[in-house]
Amino acid sequence: MEAGHPLQSRARTRLSALLCIVLTLSLWGLAPVGRAQAALPTPEAPSLSAQLRAAFPALAPQLAARASFAPATRDVAGQALAGLVPAADPLPPEGMLPAERAAWLAMARRSAPADGLSAFFPQRFSDPLIVSQGAAQVRLQALDAASVAGAVEDGALVYREAYPATDSVYLAGDGQVKELLYLRDAGAPTRFAYTLDAGADAQVTRDGAGGVRVATAGGTLTIAAPWLVDATGRRSTDAVRWELAPGRADGPARLTLALDPAGLAYPLLIDPTWGTITNTLASARTDHTATLLASGQVLVVGGSGSSGYLSSAELYDPATGNWSATGSLATARRRHTATLLASGQVLVVGGSDGSGYLSSAEVYDPTTGSWSDVGSLSTARQYHTATLLLDGTVLVVGGSDGSGYLSSAERYDPATGSWSPTDSLASARGIHTATLLASGQVLVVGAIECYTGFPAHPCCLRRLRTRIVP
């Protein structure tokens, strides 16, 4: 056919028209009939831990704990039960360089207890969880639970839809096994029942702080008093509790986690945590506080460990030489202060949580083993001091807010639960000392007054004159 022939021209016209139709359909998101349309890639759903960090930002440091898991089997009543165990090495935080990861893992291995708490997580949620420490072993089996399979998501073991409208998340590390129950709405149960089997000779009792103690010939395991956080960020220890009923002769005890949701806003996050009673801390830590209580016990709070910033707290009993877990802070922190109040409670103030400096304060009640929020400082700070005054109030002085050292001071009144400003120092300072004098005045001595981002920098090591705070 010769160039320019009318048939050839009409063919080109029809081809151009067809291409225009196809292009228009593709722009509309349609495809020609009889032809498969390519599926758009489905975005990957965020892990449940990531969802919880977004929903409960105050708990983000606790939810950042990550572990790797390995397949394992355990013999239960003569049958091989499939499941997972935490790997020997924890997972380092994301974003580290190779050299940083190697250093982090070396520190984690050095700080890991030689005979710490271990756990076997069943493949199916309705099968027994096995928690052990040394020769002590406990099997905890959820009743009325779904037989859903667990999946490792972002370093946590997740059982989705373990109960109606409820997911279960297990975090392992720092000498603890933490289960978080995520109740999405009011369709979730308000009672979670378990059988607890530690052998015929085990003694299962409630402790004075709302937790559960399981004493066996091989050692003692504990479950800390539970607490929850609701959608508004409100933390409560009163709305959730353990109920313990003895089992039949030589049979397992029955343990129930009971929830009173009145006045709470869904979704809810409930935390029951396993720990041990040992002669060493369950969690290796630094930058923590240690406070002598009126009972003679010592309360160790927060700090940082191999998994990051810690919210956990432990009690040392000098009468037995043993450590045991107690209630956890609402906010993980280090470089805070802890002050014993006249009431016997402990006030924890400020510090940092890895994402910034903190203005929040919490009070520990040794009679219940729980923490409560007591408002906030007007200025977030760490490297400060907190001094109990003769009138029962607490004076917080100086420190750093991340942009520099502070001259401001604030006062906490336990009678009203309120904070108020007081006179400022003549010189801003952090990492100083503050001493209560017999006159009721407070002597503030020394410190660092400049800020380079690294407070031990040589340019900061300057002497400051003392200051007496009236």
Q: Band the pLDDT of 105: cuts 50, 70, 90.
A: low
Mean pLDDT of 368-376: 89
Mean pLDDT of 411-423: 95
Token readout for 277 is 């009673």
Q: Are 306 and 108 in contact (CB under 8 A)?
A: yes
Token readout for 221 is 């395991």
Q: Is the pLDDT of residue 460 over 90?
A: no
Mean pLDDT of 142-169: 94
Q: Is the pLDDT of residue 466 over 70?
A: no
pLDDT tens profile 244-299: 987 665 678 899 999 999 999 999 999 877 766 666 777 889 999 999 999 889 99
d(CA 337, CA 289): 7
Q: Which residue has the higher pLDDT, 229 or 200?
A: 229
Helices and strands in the chain, H and E counts = 4, 36
Q: Is the pLDDT of residue 109 over 70?
A: no
pLDDT at 407: 94
Q: Which residue has the higher pLDDT, 110 or 84?
A: 84
pLDDT at 248: 61
Q: Band the pLDDT of 89: cuts 50, 70, 90.
A: low
Q: Which residue has the higher pLDDT, 241 or 456?
A: 241
Q: Is the pLDDT of residue 454 over 50?
A: no
Q: Are 278 and 218 in contact (CB under 8 A)?
A: no
pLDDT at 269: 95
- The CB density around residue 13, as the number of other CB atoms within 10 Å, is 10
pLDDT at 41: 47
pLDDT at 217: 81
Q: Is the pLDDT of residue 32 over 50?
A: no
pLDDT tens profile 114-155: 456 788 999 999 999 998 877 788 899 999 999 999 999 988
Out of 24-38, 40-54, 117-131, 167-181, which region has the weakest mean confidence (pLDDT)? 24-38
Q: Which of 420, 434, 431, 432 is nearest to 468 (CA)?
A: 434
Q: Is the pLDDT of residue 411 over 80?
A: yes
Q: Which of 417, 424, 421 is nearest to 444 (CA)?
A: 424
Cis peptide before 6 (omega within 30 of 0): no
- CA 273 to chain CA centroid, Å, is 10
Mean pLDDT of 182-199: 94
210 φψ region: left (φ > 0), alpha (ψ -120 to 50), beta (else)? left
Q: Is the pLDDT of residue 83 over 50?
A: yes
Q: Band the pLDDT of 176: cuts 50, 70, 90.
A: low
pLDDT at 455: 43
Contact partners, residue 395, CB within 8 Å, separation at least 6: 386, 387, 389, 409, 410, 411, 422, 434, 442, 469
Contact partners, residue 431, CB within 8 Å, separation at least 6: 383, 447, 448, 455
d(CA 466, CA 461): 15
Q: Domain residues of the chain, as ranges?
A: 48-376
Contact partners, residue 276, CB within 8 Å, separation at least 6: 116, 117, 133, 136, 175, 219, 220, 221, 222, 282, 324, 325
pLDDT at 90: 59
Q: Are 271 and 226 in contact (CB under 8 A)?
A: yes
Q: Is the pLDDT of residue 329 over 80?
A: yes
pLDDT tens profile 338-361: 999 999 999 999 999 988 999 999
pLDDT at 367: 84
Q: Is the pLDDT of residue 403 over 80?
A: yes
Whole-number average pLDDT of the chain: 81
DSSP structure string for 71-110: EEEEEETTEEEEEEEEEEEEPPPTT--HHHHHHHHHHHHH
